[in-house]
Amino acid sequence: MNDTICAISTPLAPGAISIIRMSGSGAISIANKVFVGKDLEKVNDHTINYGHIYDGDELIDEVMVSVMREPNTYTREDVIEINAHGSIASAKRILELLLKNGCRLANPGEFTERAFINGRIDLVEAESVMDIIDSSNEKALSMAVNQLSGSTSNKIKEIRKMISDIETNIEVNIDFPEYDDINVLTNEIIKPKLINISDELHTLLNNSKDSKIIKDGIDTVIIGKPNVGKSSILNKLLEEDKAIVTDIPGTTRDIVEGVIDINGIRLNLIDTAGIRETDDLVESIGVKKSLELINKASLIIFVLNNNTEITDSEYEILSKIKDKNYIIIINKIDLDKNIDDSNLNNVIYMSTVNDIGIDDLKNKIINMYELDKLNTKDFNYLSSARSISLIEKAIDSIDKSIGAIEEGQPIDIVEVDISSASEYLGDILGINYKEDLFEQLFSNFCLGK
Amino acid sequence: MYDVIVIGGGHAGCEACLASARMKHKTLLVTGNIKNIADMPCNPSIGGSAKGIIVREIDALGGEMGKCADKSLIQMKMLNSSKGPAVRSLRAQADKITYPKVMLETLKSTDNLEILEAMVKEIIVEDNIVKGVILEDGRIINSKAVIITTGTYLKSDILVGSTRIRKGPHGEKTSNYLSDNLKELGFTIKRLKTGTPPRIDKSTIDFSKTRIENGDSTSYTFSYENNIYYDVDNQVPCHLIYTTPTTHQIITDNLNKSSMYGGLDDIKGVGPRYCPSIEDKIVRFSDKERHQLFLEPESIYYDDIYLQGFSTSMPIDVQEKMVHSLPGLENAKILKYAYAIEYDAIDSKQLKLSLETKIIDNLFTAGQINGTSGYEEAACQGLIAGINAALKLEGKEPLILKRSEAYIGVLIDDLITKGIMDPYRMLTSRAEYRLLLRNDNADMRLTEYGHDVGLITDDRYNMFILKKDSIKNLINELKTKKITPTELGNNFLSELNTTQIKDSITLYDLLKRPEVKIDSLQNMFGKYSKDVLEQVEISVKYEGYINKALKEAEKFNELDSKKIPSDIDYSKIKNLASEARQKLENVRPTSIGQASRISGVNPVDISLIIVYIKKEYFYDRK
């Protein structure tokens, strides 16, 4: 496990500095083999050293090398970070050179896995590291950093303590029944405590769900008949926010093709290619395809033409989106009104030609998700789906125990679910042992940190 | 030449020698004093929370303690009856004359069992296999297996105030050589301590100043043979009193005279957290105004009253003052003074789950020598050691009970896996699946094992099969018989104070309602015994919870079924925390589940072990 791993830990984007990170007992000596400058094995701990990377006689790049000796490093092993100033190509050359000299290419998330295994961070912290890597906007980054300080762990520990306090008192009552001067917990006494715990967990859960919006953005689809103006709306949105439409392949959001930032929150636009290339969603690909997209998205922007009447297939779409978050755009208001909009809700009137309605659309989204109210500074939140589902299970268990009290079950039975809740919270903190938990967690990490 | 020698005739020793003799192995019990066989040197009670369930388990496996307690009890209670089905537990006041007498008669009438009054000096070991014992008088007795159940008798010191006397309980002679011998053989010897309260002359107590504590009006038995020997209407009561501010003052003023608080400066023994002395209670819980004390009768044949909750190592003059500060005991006469006792024990992590020692084959240890406290904890280990010594001689696999199967399994796994710091007492909270480990179903859990090893007779086994059948029949009746939404049906439901129905409901579903008791449905199905009714009621009412526990236990047992190769070299697993490495080396767990229960071994260490095993033992062999 203690072999030396390396990876390029910055995005492969042109123009930026690339950082190649190494961790393991051989990190310093391997780096020293390819570095020309000071002797890295002799420099002071936690220093940055100027020099050059050579492959034999060939100069690869001008670099700054950070030398960090264990244990005060991210992984608690010797860590080297090479800041390369040149092209992506030279960063890749450096990586290859290190591999040639005895490093192994890091697995996804392996740096963090080592940090975890070496006791540097707990599970909650490990997950939030993943958020930093993932977070593509500022708000998410500030939340992720906040969490790293352990405030979420502390909140969960605090709630878990409340639960275990009840548990231990019940245990004492059971194991020492003859002592009538110990406070005997009855269903009546613990019920309000459990309700309080349930509330605390709900708050944590709601924060977590809000934070999911901040972190992951809102998956959004724009649908509508051909020539209704979908691509113009899309272009207007993209233009306004100077956002780049990029391909993000290989993730679960592989259908996301455009990202727009509204108030610091991402809208992930789904199937923009469909809009651009075919522009005929409703008619030629059909209602079926639209419905598929509706199911995938959490926000549906449905574009209608002010100039024409609503068709049967459009009515069908309308009936399908009524239970979801949707916004109807009635476009082309610069033309004559032939549409009957009397029964429509959540309507924005727009004319992309005359630049009318784009701001209305953005404000509508902000209002809809209360984005202006999201207070990211003092959030206690859990980022991963695993943690959120564990909190949900803990809430479910506490609610079951409250239910058992209401049914008049004896305290030992009531305690069964109280203990489960405590275990679920322990799982979030990595206190209990579940065999494949770690494998699962770390395979979700992207390469680098 | 004996098959098995058992050293020590306490509760562990009695069960051990009975088990091995009943399994048809020629057995010798060596004891320091025959009169003290199955002696109860501390409290006059058997059972208690969780402990009572252990006694039921001992009985289901074919041990003796339950039957012996049934024959000698003078008061019986079901504890926690309102707190839930899983935590109900029996507690008896056992007569200190009758219990040992009944046990001795049983031993004497058991085939293949001989008793010898002597002290053992050494264990004979050749090639790491036990060969017998050497007595203090030099005699050599050979055997194929040895079980050490010496209780608190290894180098025991009686501590009272500033005096330390090398003696066993009641001033009996102690074993001066055996623990040195064990040390030479490679065992880690630790020092533990426990204490016992003063005994008071009953005729000098003013009971009008106490609160009476009676036994239950329903009769119970520990044994599944269900023979009731006591008169339910004429049980001997206990009495409750509380310490007074004067008591606390006397103790505070004289604290430095207590052996444990400066009276003696060479105390090494660690006392039980769960059974503190009265001075501990007053120091540690100084905000508590009073402490409960129970006056428990030791026997109907003599006058000693056991002052439960008042164990101390104060000098006798202070004890006098302390006792006289208690309500009703102003003029009490102390018959025996309280004392603390320090004794040698071995490190239980040096044992296998079978209770055989890891370093010497065919040598077993059980009871207080393994660091436990309590008669029940001792007896169940004695039984398992006796069974496993016999099975070993027969070349069979040992009987190892799972944590989800018996408190006995929990206890032994805790001893072997976690080890102990202070004397170990069983608590219901030590069990993960206590809803499965109930007072009512110990027979269902363990009778098969008892029968398999030959300790449960065929007659008794047939009774068990009949009980199983009638449980099945009753459940069947409950599932098929229905109450219909007629006026008659709904009137019946109102009488039971439960909601009326619109559709028919089976008795089974009706019984699931917390307010409906099985007793109130009795004339709707055939005749069944009390314990069949109880067990069916619990299993129907709490079916959901029980199934949940079963599922969790299954997952848990899966981890226990992942074996760790016995030749694993922990020094080769990189990145193991050094504390974990040391503890794993110390315990050498046999399964991943057991490893994960070692304190100081973290989840990360476990995943490293799993990865290592996968790599070393599976991939490399391809």
Question: pLDDT of B217-255, one tens digit each?
Answer: 999 999 999 999 999 999 999 999 999 999 999 999 999
The model's pLDDT over A344-395, given as tens digits with 9 standing for 90+, comes to 888 999 988 888 888 888 888 878 876 665 554 344 455 555 677 778 889 9
How many Å apart are CA B591 and CA B569, to the nearest integer?
Answer: 14
pLDDT for A247 equals 35
B285 in contact with A, Cβ within 8 Å: no
Give how far B39 is from chain A: nearest CA, Å.
24
Number of domains in chain B: 4
Q: How confident is the prediction for chain A on average, in pLDDT?
A: 74
Question: Using H for helix, E for strand and C for coil, what is the string for B344-356?
Answer: EEECHHHECCCCE
Check whether residue B108 and residue B171 sit in a common domain.
yes
Tell whether the model's pLDDT for residue A243 goes beyond 80.
no
Say yes or no to pLDDT of A239 above 70: no
Task: Look at B545 and A413 and tell me if their CB atoms are within 8 Å.
Answer: yes
Same domain? For B593 and B524 the reply is no
User: Which chain A residues have a beta carbon less than 8 Å from that of B85?
Assistant: 410, 412-413
Q: B406 with B502, same domain?
A: no
B230 phi and psi, to 5 degrees?
Answer: -105, 160
For the segment B123-139, the average pLDDT, to the nearest whole number, is: 96
What are the percentages of helix, strand and coil residues in chain B, rounded to 5?
Answer: 40, 20, 40
**Chain B, 581-620: which have a CB under 8 Å from a chain A CB?**
592, 596, 603-604, 606-608, 610
Among candidates A175, A409, A411 on the partner chain, residue whose Cβ is nearest the Cβ of B49: A175
Q: Is residue B554 part of a domain?
A: no
Question: Average of pLDDT values for B99-126?
Answer: 97
Instruction: Out of B341, B375, B396, pick the residue that ends a domain.
Output: B341
Give pLDDT, residue B260: 83
Asked if the Cβ–Cβ distance from A171 to B292 is below 8 Å, we say no
Q: Are residues B527 and B586 in the same domain?
A: no
Minimal CA–CA distance to B386: which of B48, B112, B131, B117? B112
* ∠ CA B124-B128-B133, rounded to 5°: 15
Confidence (pLDDT) at A250? 29
Nearest CA in chain A to B607: A435
Residue B305 lies in a domain: yes
What is the band of A108 on the pLDDT scale with cuts at 50, 70, 90?
A: low
Q: Could you tell me if B53 lies within 8 Å of chain A, comparing CB atoms?
A: no
The pLDDT tens digits for B493-542 are: 999 889 899 999 999 999 999 889 999 998 899 999 999 999 999 999 99
Supply the pLDDT for residue A207. 75
Asked if the Cβ–Cβ distance from A174 to B428 is below 8 Å, we say: yes
Residue B390: the pLDDT is 98
Is the Cβ pair A173, B604 closer than 8 Å? no
Domain boundary pick from B309, B341, B373: B341
B243 and B363 housed in the same domain: no
- Judging by beta carbons within 10 Å of its beta carbon (0-12, 13-18, 19+), is residue B286 exposed, middle or buried? exposed
Cβ neighbours of residue A20 under 8 Å, at least 6 residues apart?
A6, A7, A8, A9, A81, A82, A84, A91, A94, A95, A98
Question: A409: which chain B residues are within 8 Å (Cβ-Cβ)?
Answer: 84, 514
- Lowest-confidence pick of A4-8, A70-74, A215-219, B465-469: A215-219
**What 3-state class would DSSP assign to B75?**
strand
Which of A176-180, B116-120, B143-147 shows the lowest per-residue confidence on average (mean pLDDT)? A176-180
CA dist list (Å): B552 to A337, B431, B433: 65, 13, 8
Percent of chain B with pLDDT over 90: 76
Residue B110 binned pLDDT confidence (cut-offs 50, 70, 90): very high
User: Measured at the alpha carbon of residue A309, what is the angle toward residues A303 and A314, in degrees to the nearest 5?
Assistant: 50
Classify residue B555: in a domain, yes or no. Answer: no
What is the rounded average pLDDT of the residues B444-467? Answer: 97
CATH value at residue B466: 1.10.10.1800
Chain A residues closer than 8 Å to B84 by CB? 409-413, 415
- Tell whether the model's pLDDT for residue A137 goes beyond 70: no
> Is residue A146 very low, low, confident or very high in pLDDT (cuts 50, 70, 90)?
very low
pLDDT in tens, A280-318: 444 444 566 677 778 778 888 898 988 888 888 888 888
Q: Is B557 among the domain residues?
A: no
Most confident region among A148-152, B2-6, B256-260, B413-417 by mean pLDDT = B2-6
Cα separation of A282 and B160, whole Å? 95
Q: Does B499 touch chain A (CB under 8 A)?
A: no
Amino acid at A42: K
B209 domain-assigned: yes
Higher-pLDDT residue of A155 and A410 is A410
Instruction: Answer yes or no: do A410 and B82 touch at CB < 8 A.
Output: yes
Q: What's the CATH code of the domain at B359? A: 3.50.50.60
CB contact under 8 A, B435 and A416: yes
B99 part of a folded domain:
yes
The Cα of A163 is separated from the nearest Cα of chain B by a number of Å equal to: 15
Residue B276 shares a structural domain with residue B371: no
In this predicted structure, the answer to whether residue A248 has a pLDDT above a threshold of 80 is no
pLDDT of residue B91: 97
* pLDDT at residue B325 is higher than 60: yes
Q: Are residues B322 and B375 in the same domain?
A: no
Residue B395 lies in a domain: yes
| Domain final residue pick, B451, B473, B506 | B451
Which CATH number do you get for residue B233? 2.40.30.260
Residues B254 and B163 in one domain: no
Which of B50, B79, B542 lies closest to A413 in CB terms? Answer: B542
Determine the average pLDDT of the residues in B73-81.
Answer: 95
Q: Are residues B400 and B540 part of one domain?
A: no
User: What pLDDT is attached to residue B82?
Assistant: 87
Which residues of chain A lie closer than 8 angstroms to B515, CB-CB? 408
Which residues of chain B lie closer than 8 angstroms to A431, CB-CB?
Answer: 603
Q: Looking at the predicted structure, is the pLDDT value of residue A256 above 70?
A: no
Check whether residue B373 and residue B240 sit in a common domain.
Answer: no
Task: Judge whether residue A179 has pLDDT over 80.
Answer: no
Does some domain include residue B556? no
Within 10 Å of residue B61's Cβ, how many Cβ atoms?
30
Distance from CA of B155 to the nearest CA of A (A): 32
pLDDT for B116: 98
Considering the domain architecture, whether residues B440 and B526 belong to the same structural domain is answered as no
Q: What is the pLDDT of residue B355?
A: 98
Chain B closest-CA separation from residue A79 CA (Å) = 16
**Does B192 contact chain A (CB < 8 Å)?**
no
pLDDT given for residue A293 in this prediction:
76
Q: Omega before B100 cis (within 30°)? A: no
CA nearest to B291 within chain A:
A181
For B503-528, give the DSSP string: S-EEHHHHHHSTT--GGGGGGGS---
Global pTM value: 0.74
Q: Do B603 and A433 touch (CB under 8 A)?
A: yes
Residue in A2, A407, A412 nearest the CB of B514: A407
Instruction: Check whether B169 has a pLDDT greater than 90.
Output: no
Top pLDDT among A108 and A172 is at A172
Please name the member of A117, A409, A433 whose beta carbon is closest to the beta carbon of B596.
Answer: A433
Q: Do B49 and A2 touch (CB under 8 A)?
A: no
Query: Which residue in this structure is represented by tokens 């006591």?
Result: B230
- The model's confidence at residue B211, banded by pLDDT at 50, 70 and 90, is very high
Instruction: Say yes or no for a CB contact (<8 Å) between A410 and B83.
Output: yes
Q: Which chain B residue has its CA at the smallest distance from A416's CA?
A: B545
Going from the N-terminus, what domains does chain A have, and what CATH number goes with each? Answer: 5-106 (3.30.1360.120), 151-212+384-443 (1.20.120.430), 217-373 (3.40.50.300)
Higher per-residue pLDDT: B117 or A206: B117
- Identify which has the larger pLDDT, A126 or A34: A34
Task: Judge whether residue B575 has pLDDT over 50.
Answer: yes
Q: Do A261 and A241 form a contact (C-beta atoms < 8 A)?
A: yes
pLDDT digits 0-9 by tens, B423-446? 998 988 888 899 999 999 999 999
Tell me whether strands B304-308 and B199-201 are parallel, antiparallel or unpaired.
antiparallel
**Which residue range forms the structural domain that includes residue B596?**
562-619
The pLDDT of residue A246: 37
Of B80, B549, B574, the CB nearest to A177: B80
pLDDT at A109: 67
Shortest CA gap B547–chain A (Å): 12
The confidence band for A2, taking pLDDT boundaries of 50, 70 and 90, is: low
Same domain for B185 and B83?
Answer: yes
Domain containing residue B585: CATH number: 1.10.150.570
Q: Hey, is the C-beta of A198 within 8 angstroms of any chain B C-beta?
A: no
CB contact under 8 A, A116 and B604: yes
Mean pLDDT of chain B: 92
pLDDT of residue B4: 98
pLDDT at B358: 95
Interchain pair A410, B596: CB under 8 A: no
Any residues with CB less than 8 A from the CB of B611 and at least 6 apart, and which?
Answer: none
